[in-house]
Amino acid sequence: MHETTVLLIEVGALLLILSIVGRIALRFGISPIPLYLLAGLAVGHGGIIPLRASEEFFEVGAQIGVILLLAMLGLEYSPRELVSSLKQSRVAGIYDGLLNAIPGALFAFLLGWDWLAAVALAGITWVSSSGVIAKVLRDLGRLGNRETPVILSTLVIEDLAMAFYLPILSALLIGTGLLQGSITVAIAVGVVAVILFIALRFGKQLSRLFPAANPEPLLLGVLGLTMLVAGLAEQVSVSAAVGAFLVGIAISGQVAHNATIVLAPLRDLFATVFFVFFGLTTSPASIVPVLVPALLLAVLTMGTKLASGYLSARRAGIGVPGRWRTGLSLAPRGEFSLVIAGLAVAAGVEPTIAPLATAYVLITIIAGPLLARIPDTALFKAEVRRRRLVAEAKQAAAIT
């Protein structure tokens, strides 16, 4: 059978299965992300029915999915809102880095790994998955919540920090001088600054390039610009997600509103592909030996994410439920964690870091969307009300 024919059959069959899986998730009121991941595991390396011809399609589709998820998050906010939120979140970024990177490094030493592997594992546990969190926020209808800018600011700070971290890590792993890594960092930061400057100063003029009233050229124009900037950003060691997010920020007004409408079906399709690809490239057999340490690390660092997110939201003046939503929403790790693990393995640092990182990412991605729903449960809301009443009663007693 011709390879293209096999690809069409594999992709078509898998999309039909995902449609059924999505309906099951909606039927029980849960996020479909964990089910998409499990479907990917079932048809991936070592799965029940491994797919071969369509893997490259899903790899490219996964990259497009992350780009679209972040671009459409950017469309929800103006440049000034972003800058204001980033200024307010500077200290929160420090909380986030310290509370989530240090446990990863210490865990590596407990496993008997060397300091290079510890630096790599610190990055794996530090950075949340922008793609997963973007979908969770949309699925749960929280894009307009007061805590959402805090979550987005944390994600942007983390992604920008990767522009520093990845070149330095690469230089350490391959033994090149820090000068080369510093040059790469300077270029990356300069590119981000230029994109942000254009978004702030020329966002309205940029929006006029696209015909708001004509869906087809609007779709092609916004999608083309987003992918172009994302690709150029990645070329200079900046996350493609950051480039896509900043393009979304730059587009405003009616163009942004209409672009959200025409891009939504594409986002839904490729976001699903993104989650399936995680499972597709993972062999269940490689996860089994490292499952216990990965589970322990996931529990530890989901707790530290909860702490850092809670503190960041409290600093921003968000109420108690919003603080919990912030911390629990930031639990999933994703694409950057796997990239860091890949760099470490390629450099021959620690062979088991790849399966550990894969198992860790899968656990956090499966658990994250489920944990994010906890603040919406009746039991959680009742407990928050009880604590508030107790606090008010104590305050009244103190006054009298």
- Identify the residue with better confidence: 308 or 71: 308
Give the span between the Cα atoms of 366 and 268, in whole angstroms: 18
Helix axes 291-315, 115-126, angle to 10 degrees: 50
Over residues 328-342, the mean pLDDT reads 83
Kindly indicate the confidence band of residue 341, based on its pLDDT and cuts at 50, 70 and 90.
Answer: confident
Kindly indicate the confidence band of residue 30, based on its pLDDT and cuts at 50, 70 and 90.
Answer: low
Over residues 367-386, the mean pLDDT reads 87
Q: Where are the domains of the chain?
A: 3-381
As given in the structure block, the two tokens for residue 73 are 């998050």
The answer, yes or no, to whether residue 106 has pLDDT greater than 80, is yes
pTM for the full predicted model: 0.72
Own/partner pairs, 375-384, CB within 8 angstroms, 24+ separation: 375/321, 375/324, 375/325, 375/328, 376/140, 380/321, 380/324, 381/321, 384/320, 384/321
The answer, yes or no, to whether residue 149 has pLDDT greater than 70, is yes
Which of 285-289, 290-294, 339-343: highest mean pLDDT? 290-294
Which pLDDT tens digit goes with each residue over 358-374?
A: 889 889 988 888 899 89
Kindly indicate the confidence band of residue 105, based on its pLDDT and cuts at 50, 70 and 90.
Answer: very high
The pLDDT score that the predictor gives to residue 100 is 93
The pLDDT score that the predictor gives to residue 237 is 66
Under CATH, which number does the domain 3-381 receive?
Answer: 1.20.1530.20
Q: How much is the mean pLDDT over the chain?
A: 82
DSSP letters spanning 321-359? HHHHHHHHHT--B-HHHHHHHHHHHHTTS-TTHHHHHHH
The answer, yes or no, to whether residue 176 has pLDDT greater than 60, is no
User: CA dihedral in degrees (229, 230, 231, 232; nearest 10)?
Assistant: 50
- CA-based nearest residue to 332, from 386, 291, 278: 278
Helices of type H across the chain: 3-28, 33-43, 55-74, 79-88, 90-110, 115-126, 130-139, 148-174, 178-207, 215-235, 240-250, 253-280, 284-287, 291-315, 320-329, 335-346, 353-371, 378-399
